[in-house]
């Protein structure tokens, strides 16, 4: 590889560019990224929200954001101009267990891609297939890897760390 090619690859890795436009069909060993609503997407921050009811009472809601909020356990807000205005977020309801969980579009364990339509309406797309593997769970942080796909316009794959918020953090 030439010096200029090495420089380009190194710069892309340092800047965290998400140039992978094709669904990898499995876990990637890189920070969680992919395509949401047809555009490149990369998570910058994730947290759990224990105040949101999930279909299964043992599940926890994970929220993946493509930016870092001012508060680590920000109360969930409607997308609007301001701190939490990024409409392309991803949410996942899953149990806090260190085992491989396979997901389908139906059932209690589900993942949703959220984004705004050109008309300004919030839309949500359920996954068709996916899997989650939590690799480390502590009182303050959860680590894992995730692969989820709804279509060529909505898929993500990679590793993540999520802040484990409690209900007092989300007041």
Residue 86 pLDDT class (50, 70, 90 cuts) = low
**Pairing mode, if any, of strands 89-95 and 59-65?**
antiparallel
Would residue 11 count as lying in a domain? no
Rounded to 5 degrees, φ, ψ at 165 are -80, 150
Per-residue pLDDT tens for 8-56?
333 333 334 444 567 778 888 999 999 888 888 899 999 988 877 777 7
Share of the chain above pLDDT 70, in %: 71
The pTM (predicted TM-score) of the whole model is 0.76
The whole-number average pLDDT for the span 148-168 is 87
Examine residue 5 and state whether it is found in any structural domain, yes or no: no
Indicate whether 8 belongs to any domain: no
The total domain count for the chain is 1
Q: For residue range 105-147, what is the model confidence (pLDDT) as tens digits?
A: 655 566 777 776 667 777 778 888 888 999 999 988 999 999 9
Range of the domain at 134: 19-164
Whether 62 maps to a domain, the answer reads yes
The C-alpha atoms of residue 104 and residue 141 are separated, in whole angstroms, by 26
Of 142, 146, 145, residue with least CA distance to 166: 142
**Is a pLDDT exceeding 60 seen at residue 84?**
no
Per DSSP, the residues of 110-133 read EEEEEEE-TTS-EEEEE-SEEEEE
**Pure H helices in the chain:** 3-15
Predicted confidence at residue 93, as pLDDT, reads 83
Q: Is residue 36 part of a domain?
A: yes
In a domain, 23, yes or no: yes
Would you state the pLDDT for residue 14?
Answer: 38
């Amino acid at each position: 590889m030439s010096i200029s090619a090495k420089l380009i690859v190194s710069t892309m890795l340092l800047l965290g560019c998400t140039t992978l436009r094709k669904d990898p069909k499995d876990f990637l060993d890189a920070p969680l990224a992919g395509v949401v609503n047809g555009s490149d997407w990369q998570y910058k921050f994730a947290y759990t929200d224990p105040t949101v009811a999930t279909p299964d009472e043992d599940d926890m809601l994970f929220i993946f954001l493509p930016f870092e909020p001012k508060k680590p356990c920000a109360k969930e807000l409607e997308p609007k101009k301001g701190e939490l205005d990024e409409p392309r977020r991803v949410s996942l309801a899953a149990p806090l267990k260190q085992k491989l969980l396979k997901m389908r579009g139906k059932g209690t364990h589900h993942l949703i891609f959220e984004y705004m339509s050109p008309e300004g309406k919030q839309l949500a797309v359920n996954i068709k297939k996916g899997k989650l593997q939590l690799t480390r769970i502590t009182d303050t942080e959860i680590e894992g890897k995730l692969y989820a796909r709804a279509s060529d316009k909505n898929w993500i794959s990679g590793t993540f760390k999520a802040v484990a918020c409690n209900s007092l953090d989300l007041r």
